Amino acid sequence: MIEQLIQKANEQVLEIIQNTQPVITGIGTALDVVPGMTKTTILHAGPPIKWENMSGPLKGAVMGALIYEGLAANAEEAEKLAASGEIKFDPCHHHNAVGPMAGVTSATMPVWILENKSYGNKAYCTLNEGLGKVLRYGAYSSEVIDRLKWMENTLAPVLKEALELHGPIDLKTMLAQAIQMGDEGHNRNKAGTSLLIRELAPFIVKTSFHEDDKAAVLKFMHSNDHFFLNLTMPACKCTLDAAMGVKYSTIVVTQARNGTEFGIRVSGLGERWFTAPCNAVKGLYFPGFTEKDANPDIGDSVITETAGIGGFAMAGAPAIVQFVGGTPKDAVNYTTSMYEITEGENKSYVIPFLNFRGTPTGIDIRKVIETGILPIINTGIAHKEAGVGQVGAGLVHPPQKCYEDALEAFVQEMEKEGVI
């Protein structure tokens, strides 16, 4: 009986994931559009965490955000304020939002607004800052703050008006195309970024802004092949939020890391987090850095794998091994092995090389424990200290304990329900 209940629930979750229609509907300011946002709230990646337990890059990003918001004049003031108890820290995931790496989102930051047209729920994500010294990797120098200000005052308004002229953008179709063009939607977003630029460029031209600003916006997007990441993430977020809370389902609807702890949430177990210390990332380092410099796994971007892309779609993105390590054959093997722990195959995101087979979608906590195969995650690597930035990229798994604890809790829940 319990098997049938679970099977039916998991089929329902997969159907929700398959039927989801994420579209970009606009850009807004976090304070105005993100539910529950206040001027002194800082959203962060991963499960809940207190200031004193935050890792270096998350602390750095928080400090940068406080400076950016004008709540602190410098790093020392920011650190003091962060520790004072006056700032409310909350996971992005508790506010229908996601953020890459540190995931820090503060009141005046512009955010993409996505809507899941099939189910009506929304998702939010900041705009991608580019490479090098950036807030999401824990850097907070004036260069970082100045760029965030330009993004607030130029990038976002231009894109917002261009989107208004264009109308909603169907992200599912765009992402499906990108996955047939060598992206996996997490650590390789070159095709998605290109498709977004060509879609928006004619409308950017038609906005009311000065030509210099329009050109600067187009150059900024062109300079950053990760620009599309901050759209694949909320696309996956609004997909999985719609699948949250399906009774008896053992499918994972959230995976996220705050740089200290990795957390997962399971559809049938609702809002409850199952956490464990983050693993170290194995990967390739930028010149001058080694694994000694690396912070443990961080960021909400593992929402992509949770929805069936990212590391799960690596077979379609073999060129990514130049960035995260390994060989194209490894990339195929990663995808193939993920079919062992997932409920089904994605109807929209297909891999030409696997004869147009859909990506493995819907991680089942039972299958993870039964097979001992942990989800594979493509990710960036942040320096462990605040203020430095990205030092590499690589591959990582969630801690097995999250899955063990979730399954144990699920069994207890079923016992409580009296179905086993």
Q: Check residue 173 for interaction with a copy of itself (CB under 8 A).
A: no
Q: Check residue 33 for interaction with a copy of itself (CB under 8 A).
A: no
Given 3, 355, 416, 418, the residue binding a copy of itself (CB under 8 A) = 355
CB 259 within 8 A of CB 47: no
DSSP character string of 89-114:
EEEGGGGTB--STT--B-TT-EEEEE
- Cβ-Cβ contacts under 8 Å for 375 (sequence gap 6 or more): 255, 302, 305, 306, 311, 312, 338, 341, 363, 368, 397, 398
| Residues in contact with a copy of itself, shown as a per-residue x/- string from 97 to 116 under the rule CB under 8 A | --------------------
Shortest separation between residue 6's beta carbon and a copy of itself, angstroms: 35
CB 16 within 8 A of CB 307: no
Shortest separation between residue 210's beta carbon and a copy of itself, angstroms: 10
Shortest separation between residue 177's beta carbon and a copy of itself, angstroms: 8
Q: Check residue 336 for interaction with a copy of itself (CB under 8 A).
A: no
Q: Check residue 328 for interaction with a copy of itself (CB under 8 A).
A: yes
Q: Check residue 177 for interaction with a copy of itself (CB under 8 A).
A: yes
DSSP 383: B
The burial of 75, by beta-carbon neighbours within 10 Å (0-12 exposed, 13-18 middle, 19 or more buried), is given as middle
Q: How far apart are CA 225 and CA 240, in angstroms?
A: 25
Strand ranges (E), 33-109: 41-44, 88-91
DSSP 183: -
Given 7, 180, 333, 336, the residue binding a copy of itself (CB under 8 A) = 180
Binders of a copy of itself in range 184-203 (CB under 8 A) = 190-191, 193-195, 197-199, 201-203
Shortest separation between residue 212's beta carbon and a copy of itself, angstroms: 8
Q: Check residue 353 for interaction with a copy of itself (CB under 8 A).
A: yes
Q: How far apart are CA 159 and CA 327, in angstroms?
A: 37
Residues that bind a copy of itself (CB under 8 A): 177, 180-182, 190-191, 193-195, 197-199, 201-206, 211, 214-216, 218-219, 221-222, 318-319, 321, 327-329, 352-356
